Structure 1
């Protein structure tokens, strides 16, 4: 029971910490006169990846590399199977040109690159992490230039303009609260997950690809469902794909630069990563067939049912 409380407490702190960090980051960006578009494409994306980043760094440093890797793989699977699946069931999701031309191809490239890096040498080395980070910076530069040209409608996460009026004192207070909550949340989550894995007799990788991954996807799921129920434009496919790209490039990239991540659980390379690749790949035909520029309700059902089957297989 105590371990479950650690796990839940860790997730709650991570969600709260992430929220404070996003608000503070956006406020600081406005103070520095960064455009709303750039804030949406970079600052918000980095800040919302902070919980996964802290969990992966903490896990890798505390000798739980399976949690560090599967935290990202599981989160990417949950973003598409669980979050996108449920959102599409509530209402069809529109897809724009940027998905076909830029974000989906980049997601597939990063997904295949991370598979290749882990497969060769059973290790995510420091230099490979540097390559991932450089690739992310290149992607962001192309994305921002594309948005500035205005040729394609780029999905920009809702940036709260009231953040522009926040004082420096409040910004730094929120940064402090967010940072502390993320640090302690990641500590509790990793400790709780390791203890639960031992008690249930399953691997740390299993706990991280299921419980932790679903937990860190809860904020996206809540935001998507609320937006869909209000008949507003639900969380866009572009933002979910952006989140998956950031998970691979920034979370695993930065973590492996800090400490190299070995692959100690074989099922990461024989099963889990293929599910991540499969969920990423299927988005393109789903967004093209039967009609271009949309993911329909029945496709959402397929994604969700497939995700439930994946969880069943893992356990």
Structure 2
């Protein structure tokens, strides 16, 4: 029971810490006079990837490399299978041109790149981490340029205008609360997950790709479901794909620069990452058929069933 409590407390702290970090980041961006569009595409995406980043760094330092890698792989699978699946079941999701021309191709490039790096020598090295991070910066530059050209085309996560009026003291307090929440949340979560895996004699990678991954995808799921129920434009496909790109490039990129990540379990390369590639790839045909620019309800059901199948196979 104690370890389950650790995991729950860890997840609550991560979600709360992430939320405070997003608010503080947005407030600070307004103070620095950065445009709302750029904040939505960069600051918010980076801040919402902070829970995964802290969990991965913590796991890598705590001799649990499987948690570091599978946290990201599992989170990417959950974002598409679970979050996008459930959101599309509630109401169809619109897809724009940027998806076909930029975000989906970028997601595939980053996914194939991480697969190659891990398959090549069962290790994510500092150089490979630097390549991922450089790729992310290049992607963001292209994305911002493209967004400025097609203002109506780019989905920007709701950036709260009220953040512009926040004082520096409040921003500093929020940053502090967010950082503390993320730090202790990752400590509790990794510790609890490791102990549960040992107690139940399950591999750490299994706990990471299921429990931890779903946990770190909870904020996206909650936001998406609320938006879909309110009949607002559901959290966009662009944001979920952005989150997946950030997970690979910033989370694994930064973690491997800090400390190289070895792959100690063959299943990560032979099974888990192939599922991640499959979920990323299938988005294109789903958004193209039967009609362009949309993911329908029944396609959401297919994604969700595929996710349930994946979880079943992992266990």
> Under a length normalisation based on structure 1, what TM-score does the superposition of the two structures give?
0.99
Distance in 2 between residues matched to 1:211 and 1:89, nearest whole Å:
23
**Residue number in structure 2 paired with 1:74:** 74
1:297 pairs with 2:297: yes
Kept in 2, the 8 Å contact 1:146–1:152? The answer is no
**Residue number in structure 2 paired with 1:165:** 165
Distance in 2 between residues matched to 1:192 and 1:176, nearest whole Å:
24
Secondary structure, counterpart of 1:51 in structure 2: helix
Distance in 2 between residues matched to 1:81 and 1:7, nearest whole Å:
23
Distance in 2 between residues matched to 1:123 and 1:155, nearest whole Å:
35
Aligned-residue offset at 1:151? 6.5
**Residue number in structure 2 paired with 1:180:** 180
Aligned-residue offset at 1:149? 1.4
1:215 pairs with 2:215: yes
Residues 106-125 of structure 1 deviation map (CA, whole Å, 9 limit, x = unaligned): 00000000000001110000
Gaps of 5+ in 1: none
Distance in 2 between residues matched to 1:74 and 1:131, nearest whole Å:
22
Distance in 1 between residues matched to 2:5 and 2:134, nearest whole Å:
38
Secondary structure, counterpart of 1:233 in structure 2: coil
**Residue number in structure 2 paired with 1:5:** 5
Distance in 2 between residues matched to 1:51 and 1:151, nearest whole Å:
30
Distance in 2 between residues matched to 1:240 and 1:254, nearest whole Å:
20
Secondary structure, counterpart of 1:120 in structure 2: helix
**Residue number in structure 2 paired with 1:18:** 18
Distance in 1 between residues matched to 2:258 and 2:151, nearest whole Å:
38
1:272 pairs with 2:253: no
Distance in 2 between residues matched to 1:126 and 1:34, nearest whole Å:
31
Kept in 2, the 8 Å contact 1:98–1:152? The answer is no
Kept in 2, the 8 Å contact 1:89–1:300? The answer is yes
**Residue number in structure 2 paired with 1:134:** 134
**Residue number in structure 2 paired with 1:59:** 59
Residues 188-208 of structure 1 deviation map (CA, whole Å, 9 limit, x = unaligned): 000000000011111000000
**Residue number in structure 1 paired with 2:248:** 248
Structure 1's 151 and 3: CA in aligned 2 closer, same or farther, altered over 3 A?
closer
Distance in 2 between residues matched to 1:262 and 1:23, nearest whole Å:
34
Distance in 1 between residues matched to 2:230 and 2:180, nearest whole Å:
34
Distance in 2 between residues matched to 1:151 and 1:38, nearest whole Å:
11
Aligned-residue offset at 1:152? 6.1
Structure 1's 152 and 134: CA in aligned 2 closer, same or farther, altered over 3 A?
farther
**Residue number in structure 2 paired with 1:308:** 308
Distance in 1 between residues matched to 2:152 and 2:135, nearest whole Å:
22
Gaps of 5+ in 2: none
Instruction: Spell out the pairing of 1:73-92 with structure 2 (5 A cutoff).
Output: 73-92=73-92
Aligned-residue offset at 1:265? 1.0
Aligned-residue offset at 1:231? 0.7
Aligned-residue offset at 1:155? 1.1
Distance in 2 between residues matched to 1:58 and 1:301, nearest whole Å:
35
**Residue number in structure 2 paired with 1:285:** 285
Kept in 2, the 8 Å contact 1:60–1:261? The answer is yes
